[in-house]
Amino acid sequence: MVDVIDVMIVDDHPVFRQGLRNVLAAQEGLRVVDEAADGEMAIEKAEAARPDVVIMDINLPELNGLQATRELKDRFPDMQVIMLTAYDDEEQIYHAIRAGASAYHAKDVRPERLIGVIRQVHEGHYVVDDIVLDEDGIGDWLLRKFKRFGGEVFGGNEDFLSPLTPREMEILELVVQGMSNRRIAYHLGISHQTVKNHMTAILRKLGATGRTEAAVSALRRGWVPLRTKENSAGENQA
């Protein structure tokens, strides 16, 4: 017996939704359980339908796709989101993955490829630039892109609460920037042991097993106070 993957389609164009529904309905093991035309409706319908995978457009009315994805992942961590959008841009991919998406594809993706991606993310994988990654792989990818793009995911309009103290957040931001514990200690003027103690607390609070996992977790939740590229450039010139 084939396991059935329940899918929800979120897009504000009814013709596109219908076309995608037709493609998925023809596949064994896939079932479209609902549709939504905007971000707020997507969250409401996901609450009732509980799909395994959500195919999400980015440019949506009400809540955009990034905001809706963050909300869905906060409420339903096991729900996987595939961003399917007209905007095939590297920085947009970074923001989508950081918001919680498991994959990102342009809308002109071949149907057979999209079906494969649905199955891959349902199995717990990530798909970026047609490369299939595991948790460690997406963590490394996300940290590399952070060093390139930095900046806020949601333009500073969101106020996410963090369980970390200001000092812990400061240390975690330096971890994200690639500093070792000894470099952090020197940078902050505190002892190496103090940094280690803070790192132990950070890992416990985030439920992380290591520095990379903690950094990725903080990035995806928006807990680390990030600097914009303009601010960073100014500091580098100082």
Residue 133's H or E segment, with its range, is strand 131-133
Q: What is the pLDDT of residue 230?
A: 38
Tokens 């923001």, located at residue: 95
Q: What is the CATH number of domain 162-229?
A: 1.10.10.10
Q: What is the pLDDT of residue 229?
A: 37
CA atoms of 60 and 46, how far apart (whole Å): 16
CATH 1.10.10.10 boundaries in the chain: 162-229
Q: How far is CA 210 from CA 108, 163, 191, 202, in A?
A: 38, 17, 20, 10
Rounded to two decimals, what is the model's pTM? Answer: 0.68
Q: How many CB atoms lie within 10 A of CB 113?
A: 12
Q: What is the pLDDT of residue 231?
A: 39
Q: What is the pLDDT of residue 170?
A: 84
The series of mean pLDDT values per 10 residues for the chain, 238 residues long, is 87 92 92 94 94 92 85 92 82 84 90 94 92 89 77 43 73 86 92 89 83 80 50 38
Q: How far is CA 156 from CA 160, 194, 223, 230, in A?
A: 10, 31, 12, 15
Contact residues for 45 (Cβ-Cβ < 8 A; gap 6+): 8, 34, 35, 36
**CATH 3.40.50.2300 corresponds to the domain 5-147:** yes
CA atoms of 136 and 210, how far apart (whole Å): 11
Sign of the Cα torsion 182, 185, 189, 193 reads negative
Comparing C-alpha atoms, which of 205, 152, 223, 214 is closest to residue 181? 214
The three-state secondary structure class of 112 is helix
Q: What is the pLDDT of residue 150?
A: 62
CA atoms of 144 and 166, how far apart (whole Å): 24
CATH 3.40.50.2300 boundaries in the chain: 5-147
DSSP alpha helix (H) spans, 177-210: 181-188, 192-206
Whether 81 and 101 have beta carbons less than 8 Å apart is answered as yes
